[in-house]
């Protein structure tokens, strides 16, 4: 069999044709990794290969996947229950990469979960799926059922002695469920609130058992790493990080969408070449490089390489790698207010700074946008950004993420804030 492609994640995705069945997936090179893993590799070999591949978590945090797995106790799944959970909640505004993978080739996720489960010796798999992803849910259920019929899931897979099956859990919603410990709490049937660490999920997760939570894109890379080797995967990256990354762009660009590219692809190439540049009559003013919870970068940052370290040096985070574009005819204050409205609604309410602070931020921004803001509101916003944005001052990373666009926006769009307060209305409305 031949490798799927130099762009492995999206090689078999054809929206018009629908996802491949087990036979078509196998003809295109699928199931090689599962056969190789279960046919002779030790679980420790899997973890070592993933570590050497330089695969980092694609959900936003960017932690080394192999290192994350190494924290799981090494006793067999038959002696101690372990769980592997695919985080398919994907409620980050501006992000739709996992939906592309789930709808286009769910068997790739199934095989990736088999490989990961064998590596950490987990006997139980769960896909925590965003409730609104109805088509993905249907296709995922079909893929799991077919894989089960073909012997890729269930007891004693390929006669290896390893047993593993997957259950799909459709989430009831809430952005906070994307945080792995809140996700685990929701799976247990309780209110989705984050947990204190330690214990970390790898040692005490779902119902107290060792649990690994990985993003969908992360898991979909695994079949290609095991089938083609960690060195092959690492060489696909353009810098320190290994592999490819699904990048995207939304906003007033000519071709909004998502594209699989080598990790480290320059931001300019993503926007100008793949997204087709800005629509006629619009100019790029700034962007959020990795979803709504990342800091703004201005138009002078387009040559930054889209990898974890480079984007951090530029003053933001890679996050999900899905850029939200701000054009010169959209009010930045209105955009930030809209984002903070979302984050205020989605606070789990567990800690006071987040529960009460985010609504105050939204109210201040609404007043400024509506023309009733005062000069002192700028000091209040800066104080909120400083107090809520500092790590350790809230129970989880929800509020710091919410403050990223605000804190950067206060610096980047200071003149816009001042004009709103001076004119008593949005200057863009005055110009119109």
81: CATH: 3.40.50.11540
Q: Are residues 258 and 282 in the same domain?
A: yes
Query: What pLDDT does 79 receive?
Result: 57
φ and ψ at residue 44, rounded to 5 degrees: -65, -30
Which candidate, 264, 244, 321, places its Cα nearest to that of 61? 321
Instruction: Walk across the sheet containing 322-327 and list its strands.
Output: 257-262, 244-250, 322-327, 284-288, 297-298
Q: Are residues 44 and 90 in the same domain?
A: yes
- Strand 297-298 relative to strand 284-288, pairing: antiparallel
**pLDDT at position 2 over 70:** no
Task: Pick the last residue of a domain from 327, 343, 366.
Answer: 327
- Tell me, yes or no, whether 5 lies in a domain: no
- Domain CATH code at residue 248: 3.10.20.600
Q: Are residues 218 and 275 in the same domain?
A: no
Query: What pLDDT does 9 receive?
Result: 85
Looking at residue 85, the DSSP 8-state letter turns out to be: E
Reduced DSSP (H G I as helix, E B as strand, rest coil) percent helix, strand, coil of the chain, to 5: 45, 15, 40
Q: What is the pTM of this model?
A: 0.93
Which tokens in the block code for residue 119? Answer: 């590596």
**pLDDT at position 101 over 50:** yes
- Tell me, yes or no, whether 7 lies in a domain: no
Q: Are residues 301 and 222 in the same domain?
A: no
- Tell me, yes or no, whether 1 lies in a domain: no
Query: What pLDDT does 6 receive?
Result: 59
Parent domain of 296: 244-327
Please answer whether residues 295 and 333 qualify as being in contact, where contact means their C-beta atoms are separated by less than 8 angstroms: no
Query: What pLDDT does 432 receive?
Result: 45
Q: Dihedral through CA 154, CA 47, CA 195, CA 317, nearest 10? A: -120
Could you tell me how far CA 322 lies from the centroid of its own chain? 9
**pLDDT at position 1 over 50:** no
**pLDDT at position 224 over 60:** yes
Partners of 212 in the β-ladder? 84
Q: Are residues 44 and 187 in the same domain?
A: yes
Least confident of 73-87, 132-146, 220-234, 349-363: 73-87
Query: What pLDDT does 15 receive?
Result: 72
Q: Dihedral through CA 205, CA 206, CA 210, CA 215, nearest 10? A: -80
**In 265-321, where do the E strands start and end?**
284-288, 297-298
Mean pLDDT, all residues of the chain: 93
- Tell me, yes or no, whether 17 lies in a domain: no
C-alpha–C-alpha distance, residues 147 and 230, integer Å: 26
Q: Are residues 85 and 214 in the same domain?
A: yes
Q: Are residues 65 and 149 in the same domain?
A: yes
- Tell me, yes or no, whether 92 lies in a domain: yes
**pLDDT at position 78 over 60:** no
pLDDT digits (tens, 9 = 90+) for 392-407: 888 899 999 999 999 9
Which candidate, 64, 59, 30, places its Cα nearest to that of 48? 64
**pLDDT, average across residues 221-246:** 95
Q: Can the peptide bond before residue 325 be classed as cis, meaning omega within 30 degrees of 0?
A: no
C-alpha–C-alpha distance, residues 161 and 156, integer Å: 4
Q: How many CB atoms lie within 10 A of CB 285?
A: 18
**pLDDT at position 196 over 50:** yes
Provide, rounded to the nearest whole percent, the portion of the chain with pLDDT above 90: 84
**pLDDT at position 4 over 60:** no
Query: What pLDDT does 200 receive?
Result: 93
Please answer whether residues 48 and 66 qualify as being in contact, where contact means their C-beta atoms are separated by less than 8 angstroms: yes
Which tokens in the block code for residue 107? Answer: 């068997």
Query: What pLDDT does 47 receive?
Result: 97
pLDDT digits (tens, 9 = 90+) for 34-54: 999 999 899 999 999 999 999
Task: Pick the last residue of a domain from 307, 327, 347.
Answer: 327
Which candidate, 333, 248, 254, places its Cα nearest to that of 291? 248
Please answer whether residues 30 and 246 qualify as being in contact, where contact means their C-beta atoms are separated by less than 8 angstroms: no
**pLDDT, average across residues 75-102:** 88
Contact partners, residue 348, CB within 8 Å, separation at least 6: 174, 176, 182, 191, 192, 193, 194, 354, 398
- Tell me, yes or no, whether 6 lies in a domain: no
- Tell me, yes or no, whether 168 lies in a domain: yes
Q: Are residues 63 and 43 in the same domain?
A: yes
Q: Are residues 38 and 92 in the same domain?
A: yes
Could you tell me how far CA 12 lies from the centroid of its own chain? 21
Task: Pick the last residue of a domain from 206, 236, 266.
Answer: 236
Q: Are residues 214 and 279 in the same domain?
A: no
Run of H or E including 247: strand 244-250
- Tell me, yes or no, whether 261 lies in a domain: yes
Q: Are residues 253 and 232 in the same domain?
A: no
Number of domains in the chain: 3
């Amino acid at each position: 069999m031949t490798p799927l492609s130099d762009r492995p994640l999206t090689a078999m995705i054809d929206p018009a044709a629908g996802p491949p069945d087990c036979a078509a997936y196998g003809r295109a090179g699928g199931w090689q990794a599962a056969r190789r893993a279960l046919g002779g590799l030790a679980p420790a070999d899997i973890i070592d290969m993933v570590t050497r591949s330089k695969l980092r978590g694609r959900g936003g945090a960017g932690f080394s996947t192999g290192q994350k797995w190494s924290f799981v106790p090494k006793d067999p799944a038959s002696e101690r229950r372990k769980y592997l959970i695919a985080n398919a909640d994907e409620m980050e505004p501006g992000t739709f990469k996992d939906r592309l993978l789930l709808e286009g080739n769910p068997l790739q996720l199934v095989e990736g979960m088999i490989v990961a489960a064998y590596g950490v010796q987990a006997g139980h798999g769960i896909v925590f799926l965003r409730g609104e992803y109805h088509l993905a849910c249907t296709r995922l259920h079909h893929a799991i059922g077919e894989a089960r019929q073909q012997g890729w899931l269930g007891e004693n897979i390929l006669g290896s002695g390893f047993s593993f099956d997957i259950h799909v859990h459709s989430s009831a919603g809430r952005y906070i469920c994307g945080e792995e410990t809140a996700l685990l709490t929701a799976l247990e049937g309780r209110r989705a609130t984050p947990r204190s660490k330690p214990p970390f999920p790898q040692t005490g997760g779902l119902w107290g058992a060792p649990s690994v939570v990985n993003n969908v894109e992360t898991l979909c890379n695994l079949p290609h790493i095991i089938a083609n080797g960690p060195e092959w995967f690492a060489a696909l990256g353009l810098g320190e990080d290994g592999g490819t990354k699904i990048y995207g762009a939304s906003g007033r660009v000519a071709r909004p969408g998502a594209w699989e590219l080598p990790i480290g692809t320059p931001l300019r190439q993503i926007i100008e070449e793949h997204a087709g540049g800005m629509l006629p009559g619009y100019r790029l003013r700034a962007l959020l490089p990795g979803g709504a919870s990342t800091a703004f970068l201005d138009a002078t940052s387009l040559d930054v390489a889209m990898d974890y370290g480079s984007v951090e040096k530029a003053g933001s985070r890679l996050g999900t790698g899905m850029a939200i574009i701000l054009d010169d005819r959209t009010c930045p204050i209105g955009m930030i207010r809209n984002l903070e409205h979302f984050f205020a609604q989605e606070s789990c309410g567990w800690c006071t700074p987040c529960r009460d602070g985010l609504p105050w931020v939204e109210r201040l921004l609404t007043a400024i946008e509506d023309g009733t803001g005062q000069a002192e509101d700028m000091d209040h916003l800066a104080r909120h950004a400083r107090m809520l944005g500092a790590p350790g001052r809230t129970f989880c990373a929800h509020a710091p993420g919410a403050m990223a666009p605000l804190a950067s926006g206060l610096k980047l769009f200071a003149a816009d804030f001042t004009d709103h307060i001076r004119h008593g209305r949005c200057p863009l409305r005055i110009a119109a």
